[in-house]
Amino acid sequence: MSLWFLILLFHCVRGWGIARDSLREEDNMIKFIFPGTKWCGSGSVAEDENDLGSHPETDSCCRDHDMCPDVIEAGGSKHGLSNHAPYTRLHCDCDDQFKKCLRNSTDDMKVSQVVGTLYFDLLRTKCYKLEHQVTGCSNYNTIAMRCEEYTMDPSTPKSWQWFDVPVFHI
């Protein structure tokens, strides 16, 4: 799914906020923020780290995800990997924590479910981690169009590699 489709989707979903953050020059672009949150979407409209929307648990999941300490910005490179996607990609540990946090949210379940579905199921991004060389995919989900379980060669040294993010829905 392309970023442009998500932008179109955000325009069509009732209540999505469109904001322009002028605090930082690199943020001087249109952002799509999920209703009732300040951190869930493309960037943040929060005044500070403690500023959360009306769905605070879901919003704190998004805030923590946004603050992942190991990211590769769009067009950037790190750990020998290049991110050619038009959005930031994160270490798989951060995406795993984000998924768990959203699933455990006691906010209106529809909010965390929609945020999780948009990020994990529709965006279908990739994450990265240090792992033995991938030799194949032992469990490919044809509906979600991603590998859910990889086969690896434990005799190889670990290297940084891209992995499909997990499916959000149980």
List, in sequence order, every residue forming a beta bridge with 81; answer none if it has no partner: 78
For this structure, is 64 an active site residue?
no
For this structure, is 91 an active site residue?
no
Which DSSP helix (H) or strand (E) runs through 147?
A: strand 146-153
- Of the listed 65, 66, 91, 107, which one is catalytic? 65
Answer for the pair 32, 10: CB distance below 8 angstroms, yes or no.
yes
- Of the listed 55, 66, 91, 95, which one is catalytic? 95
E-assigned strand segments in 70-141: 71-72, 77-78, 81-82, 89-90, 126-131, 133-141
Contacts of 33 (CB under 8 A, 6+ apart): 16, 17, 18, 19, 39, 40, 41, 42, 43, 44, 45
Supply the residues annotated as catalytic: 65, 95
